[in-house]
Structure 1
């Protein structure tokens, strides 16, 4: 019974709405960057909701930085070391959004 329900069009719309809500939350919490010349690498332009049909039914995903040149959102979230070896603390904005939106 669950399999038939999760393959329906209503479940696709539900998965799509949750994916859009999650992507909007990540964009809202993301730090703003100094993108004077191009907005191609801005975090808000590299977070996209995506819905796909899997073997268990419709599933919503959030794709972060599909552009391979724009990889700073994950670095800002998790933290990184610069070329001089100094550690930069992560902001954990993606983790905070995921924790706030989780269902138990």
Structure 2
């Protein structure tokens, strides 16, 4: 039988592990933020995949002061776009959780604590 006559279902399937989708989402969040606070952790993501649809939860830390709405919106857009581009999955929901805000004052205080 020629390859042209075999239907898509007969050629096999591609599956992408949830952890791979989570890594794509976390990297997309890093791309959207440009920088991670000096004392902060990089964004991390968790996902729930159902067929070709994925719901993403991204946790991140931001510098303070910042425009939280704009930054979180940029993360949502970038995660949706990159997961669609790289994994071919629809992303109807991206929940962004800001775990910590890093202010210049708290950075100075923590530096002083380390010196003691």
Per the normalisation by structure 1, the TM-score is: 0.40
Q: Counting strand residues as a fraction of each chain, which structure ranks higher? A: 2
Q: Counting helix residues as a fraction of each chain, which structure ranks higher? A: 2
